[in-house]
Amino acid sequence: MNVAIVYESLTGNTKKASELMGRELARAGVSASVFPITRLDYQALASADLVVVGTWTDGISVFGQRPGRAQRLRALPVLNGKRCLVFCTYAINPGKTLDKMTRILQGRGAEVLGGMALRRQDLQGGVTDFVSRLLEAIPA
Ligand SMILES: Cc1cc2nc3c(=O)[nH]c(=O)nc-3n(C[C@H](O)[C@H](O)[C@H](O)COP(=O)(O)O)c2cc1C
């Protein structure tokens, strides 16, 4: 299985989570490429069996949460029929950020299998859960 992990990150948490994810997948024998949404690896996207998209939670802490820089998600290339997982990092409450990400990616043609919000205070713990759920859902 080939996984492409695409992230949007303002202050580095989502980047860090994506890199941890790439490393955990590699340890599990899954090849993963990790790149920012501003420098897409089109080849890796095209050949990926699974695309993971991560961003951060933007809002006013407890209401109006939305994916950070959603316009960058909307501008992703068409992902027709690609299986995708979404994740967001957050500080206090991610609200409906994952649902909003899901709708944006469905708008790009992706088949979104699920998602998870990762608390920025425990990125490593969140990433470990995310990767074990990913491997259960999609055995390598
Ligand atoms: C402008 C702005 C708004 C934010 N709004 C929220 C929010 O509404 N709820 C929340 O839980 N975290 C919020 N956060 C925290 C970020 O989602 C969190 O720190 C995230 O991990 C940042 O990811 P990054 O380091 O990849 O940019 C906000 C951060 C910023 C900069």
68 with 55: CB under 8 angstroms? yes
Type of residue numbered 52: V
Confidence (pLDDT) at 62: 78
- The 10s digit of each residue's pLDDT in 37-96 is 999 999 999 999 999 999 999 998 778 999 999 999 999 999 999 999 999 999 999 999
- Protein residue closest via CA to atom 2 of ligand 1: 58
pLDDT at 140 over 80: no
- How far apart are alpha carbons 58 and 56 in whole angstroms? 6
**pLDDT the model gives residue 95:** 96
Q: Could you tell me the distance, in angstroms and rounded to a whole number, from the CA of residue 101 to the centre of ligand 1?
A: 15
| Percent of the chain clearing pLDDT 90 (strictly above) | 93
SS3 category, 12: coil
Nearest-atom index, ligand 1, CA of 7? 26
Q: Give the whole-angstrom CA distance, residue 135 versus residue 59.
A: 31
Predicted pLDDT at 104? 98
pLDDT of 137 over the 90 cut: no
Alpha-carbon separation of residue 4 from 34, 45, 58, 82 (angstroms):
6, 6, 24, 11
CB of 89 shorter than 6 A to ligand 1: yes
Which residue's CA lies nearest to atom 28 of ligand 1?
58
The encoded tokens of residue 72 equal 């960058």
Residue 90 has which token pair? 């957050």
43 vs 139, higher pLDDT: 43
State the closest ligand 1 atom to the C-alpha of 9, by its place in the atom list counted from 1: 26
pLDDT in tens, 90-135: 999 999 999 999 999 999 999 999 999 999 999 999 999 999 999 9
Task: Decide if pLDDT at 139 tops 80.
Answer: no
User: How many angstroms separate the CA atoms of 112 and 52, rounded?
Assistant: 9
The pLDDT assigned to 138 comes to 78
Question: What kind and span of H or E run contains 131?
Answer: helix 123-137
